Amino acid sequence: MIDPDLISVGITLKLATITTLVLFVLATPLTWWIARTTHISRYLLEPIVALPIVLPPTVLGFYLLLLFSPNNEFGQLWATIFGRPLAFSFEALVIGSVIYSLPFYVQPLQVAFENVRQELLDAAATLGAGPIDRFITIVCPLSRRGFIVAATLAFAHTVGEFGIVLMIGGNIPDETRVLSIALFDHVETLQYQRAHLLAAGLLTFSFITLFLVYFSNRTRQSPPFRRGIE
Amino acid sequence: MAISADIKLERLSGFSLDVSLTIPNNGITGLYGPSGSGKSTLLRLLAGLERGGPSDSVVIRSDEDTWQNESQFTPAEQRGVGFVFQRQQLFPHLDVQENLQFAIRRQHTQDSTDAGQVYEWLNIAPLLRKQVDQLSGGEAQRVAIARVLLNGARCILFDEPLGSIDRSARSKILPYLERLHRNLQIPMIYVSHSLDEITYLADTLYVLDAGRVTLNGSMLELSASLELNAAEGETASAVIACRVARHDQQYGLCELDFEGAPVFVNAQLYAPGEQVRVRIIARDVSIATTKPASTSILNIIEARIAAIELDTGPAALVRLERKGQCFLARITRKSLDTLNLVIGQTVFAQIKSIALLTDIIP
């Protein structure tokens, strides 16, 4: 019998990985659009993307729960297509996490995209590179650090979420019981020893993640060593 | 590839562009004008990097197809137009060689220029292994130009390519551009606010001011035009084309042939038979009605007075013509009256100093 806490670790890592991949696929073009457009709708979209930073997760979780419920058309449609209800499922957690971690992915990447100079894109265009070619061969490599920071923050933030998971995922072992929920359970049942283990683990993980993010930012600001001796 | 453009465009800022121009299918067309005159906007429109607003009228045609009109727009990547920007256009995540390969992989035309030739013209070989941030401003521009040539561009647009390069490096890169000018059979448009660069390189000139073409024609003719020079005052000058006749080793001079008249300059750079451009500063030219018999001045050219422009001050600008080519003399109005100079009269221009354009451009 596997330790239930280990199962929670597995679910958490799976959730964070899938969430980060979904964000990579869906939020990358969105971020590019926000970073480059001069269209007025940008000023509406930017605060919407940033909302999860300021909203209590329970607010978001509450609305998502209503949306996912079989009484709602979207929930119904999902249940019809996939044969099982969306609420309190792992899929619901993924959707919730994608929305909740969206700003943590978009914002660092947006800064990186905005730092790609227009001249380079213009030069690439006149050299015969179309929009997708330019994005893949110029924008992505130049925004490499932005991608690393964005993916790291989105991953770490998903690992650490609690409120929204509780609202839309509930607490189903093997399905939706992620680390933060397991920790909460241990505290409620006064198993402080086990709670300590999970809490210290999350704390260490978060610190190391942030340390790496800040460390990679530091090397970006100071020029490579090579230039110092030229 | 010849290009014609008809552009009427207005910006919210009040800036407007109203030009109609034709770029001949080879040679360099210079686009000269002060900052904000619309040169760069015009160039970006030609390249397809900008398209104007919905109420603007932009019609651009190459001799093969229409690039832009009310109903269609060919994006920059499909026009085959090379663009050399003022600065920082090399991809910083690639080294010099990879930057060039980026262009080779996306060639616009199959019958592209021979790579070895391009490397030689622009002296690229020593730079190939370098990182982009190790290049000096002039080297970076040479690589940028090579990248455009290797890309097989059918037309090259230069947007102040020497604008951010220090003056000493500028004189080093101009001969490279002149070499391209002599060797390439494609049209080039060269935008600059430096009249020196333009007169050195261009065959055809468009002068732009506040979004309008104020002057247009052959560079050599316009260089001696009174309109272009009236405002220049002390620095008024004209450019003439000469052929290198021979080198005088004994005195270290180079003899040029200017429409049958010998002209001596202090230069050994060019081989006999080569065409060179020479700038004559108007204040270095004096006029005599009879051929001066004994004078220390070497260059005495027989010419006809084509036009006279009086200055508001004590000076007058006289345009002198010799077999179709013109230069200027800046003399006092008092001399003009004393000598009784009139249009059509044949006179002798004494030129104190002449320099090849390569030597003048700082």
Q: How far, in Å, CA of A128 to CA of B79, rounded?
A: 8
Q: Residue A22 sits in a domain of what CATH number?
A: 1.10.3720.10
Which of A119, A127, A140 is the best mutation test for B, with the most CBs of B within 10 A?
Answer: A127
Tens of pLDDT, residues B86-138: 888 999 999 999 999 999 999 887 665 688 888 888 889 999 999 999 998 88
Minimum CA–CA partner of A229 in chain B: B134
End-to-end CA distance of chain B: 33
What's the pLDDT score for residue B268?
A: 66
Q: Does residue A45 lie within any of the structural domains?
A: yes
Question: Out of A32-41, A97-106, B122-131, B219-228, which region has the weakest mean confidence (pLDDT)?
Answer: B219-228
Task: Report pTM.
Answer: 0.79
* Residue A119 lies inside a defined structural domain of this protein: no
Contacts of B101 in chain A (CB under 8 A): none
In a domain, A65, yes or no: yes
pLDDT (0 to 100) of residue B111: 64
Q: Give the pLDDT of residue A219.
A: 57
- Write the pLDDT tens digit of every residue in B294-339: 888 889 999 999 999 887 788 888 999 999 888 999 999 999 999 9
Element (H, E) at B207: strand B204-209
Give the burial string for B183-197 (b: 16+ CB within 10 Å, else e).
Answer: ebebbbbbbbbebbb
Rounded alpha-carbon distances, angstroms, from residue B342 to B96, B115, B223, B284: 60, 56, 22, 20
Instruction: Tell me what the pLDDT averaged over chain B comes to.
Output: 86
Does residue A214 belong to any structural domain of this protein? yes
**Cβ–Cβ below 8 Å for B89 and A230:** no
Strands (E) located in B63-141: 66-68, 81-84
Q: Which residues of A touch B106 (CB under 8 A)?
A: 127-129, 133
A129 lies in some domain:
no
Establish if A69 belongs to a structural domain. Answer: yes
Long-range contacts of A99-102 (CB under 8 A, 24+ apart): A99/A52, A99/A60, A99/A64, A100/A52, A100/A57, A100/A60, A100/A157, A100/A158, A100/A161, A100/A164, A101/A19, A101/A20, A101/A23, A101/A52, A101/A153, A101/A154, A101/A157, A101/A158, A101/A161, A102/A23, A102/A27, A102/A49, A102/A52
Domain range enclosing A186: 7-114+140-221
Q: Which two tokens stand for residue B355?
A: 């320099």
- Our count of domains for chain A comes to 1
For residue A223, the model assigns a pLDDT of 43
Report if residue A2 sits inside a domain: no
| Pairwise CB contact (< 8 Å): A122 & B76 | yes
Does the ipTM surpass 0.85? no
- Whether A135 is in a domain gets the answer no
